[in-house]
Amino acid sequence: MPLFAFAIMQFEIPGYAYTQFIDDLRIRKIKPKKTKISSPLKRYGRYAEMLRQLEAYKQTENVLFGLKAQQLRKDMTKPYRVIIQKNGKSHEYNLSPFVPYQTVSKLVKELTSFSNLDQAEQYFLEFKQHSHIL
């Protein structure tokens, strides 16, 4: 306890009581700061799209956005299945769930533009080689 602190406080603040001085000296518990816990799902490619759909649902209250977000959450950790079908033939490929959703959507649009299954397959294999860079 400081030697003349009470006397100084009485001089500066008229009516300052000794009980107030003792109350001022007591150690108060400091509430710990709440840290925002980051979701482990953040690293998956569908996560950002799920958040976009949830935000659209909150703004418009359209149930379709909510259902889309729910479906994305359900499939979050599953690999993407890309099925190429041309001229009665089909090939199925799997992509890592960490590839961004927008990138996979662009890939599917590109693959549908090819008229030949071999061209589409070649494009997909080239994409798969460079998809880890994304």
Counting the structural domains of the chain, the total is 2
Same domain for 85 and 64: no
Flag whether 119 is in a domain: yes
- Render pLDDT for 40-87 as a digit per residue (tens, 0 to 9): 999 999 999 999 999 999 999 999 999 999 999 999 999 999 888 878
Strands 80-86 and 89-95: antiparallel
pLDDT at residue number 133: 55
Over 80: is that where the pLDDT of 33 sits? yes
Same domain, 128 and 110: yes
First to last CA, the chain: 62
- Look over the chain and give the mean of its residue pLDDT values, rounded to a whole number: 88
Q: Which domain holds residue 86?
A: 79-134
Name residues whose C-beta falls within 8 Å of residue 17's C-beta, 6 or more positions apart in sequence.
Answer: none
Residue 92's nearest CA partner among 129, 132, 124 is 124
Find, among 59, 110, 60, 119, the residue nearest to 82 by Cα.
110
The answer on pLDDT for 134 being more than 60 is no
CA–CA separation, 50 vs 65, rounded Å?
A: 9
